[in-house]
Structure 1
C-alpha cells in the first residue's frame, strides 16, 4: 500500500445538501493530481452515508472518516483517477 500524500486542500461542506456536497467534492478532486489528498467536512446522516459511498463508486479512496466534537465528520479522500 502506498503512503498517502499530505492533504493539499480542506473544504467545509457542512450544511450542504446531497448530492451537491458530493458534486463539490468531485469537482475539487478534479483540481488535484492523482494520488493527492483533500480533506472534507460534512454533516452526519445522509451526507455521511452517501458521500463516501459515491466517492468509492467513482474509484476514489476514502482514507479516513473521523467524527468531530460537533457531530460532523472529517474525511480524507485520495484521488485515484
Structure 2
C-alpha cells in the first residue's frame, strides 16, 4: 500500500491492537473504531483496516478531532482498501 498523505509507515511491532472495519459503512466504521480506542490506554497504537472512499476521508478526520494522532494513512493502488494507524492520546 502506498501512503497518500506523506506520513511514514509505522512498524507493526508498535501496534498494540488491530481492527478490521472493511465490512462496515460509515458511520459504523468510526463507531467501532472509537469503541476500540475507548478501551485502549493512552499512548497505545491501533491499526484500522477499512474499505471505501468515505472511511478513508472520515476516519482520520474524526480521529484527529478527538485529539488522537494519525501515524499512518495508506490506500492501496485500487483506491478501495486502506489502513490507518492511530496513537490514542
TM range (shorter): 0.7 to 0.9
> Which TM-score applies when normalising by structure 2?
0.77
Structure 2 residue ranges without an equivalent (≥5):
1-12
Tell me if 1:55 matches 2:63: yes
Give per-residue Cα distances to partners, 1:6-34, cap 9 Å, x unaligned: 11111110021111110110110111110
Alignment root-mean-square deviation, CA = 1.5
Choose which of 19, 22, 34 in structure 1 pairs with 2:30.
22
Larger relative contact order (CA 8 Å, sep ≥ 6): 2
State the distance in 1 between where 2:85 and 2:59 align.
12
Q: In 2, Cα distance between the equivalents of 1:29 and 1:76?
A: 12
Q: The residue matched to 2:37 in structure 1 has which SS?
A: helix
State the 1:69 CA deviation.
5.4
> Whole-Å Cα distance in 1 between the matches of residues 36 and 77 of structure 2?
25
Q: Distance in 2 between matches of 1:75 and 1:51?
A: 8
Aligned equivalents of 2:76 and 2:19: distance in 1? 15
Q: Give the TM-score taking structure 1 as reference length.
A: 0.84
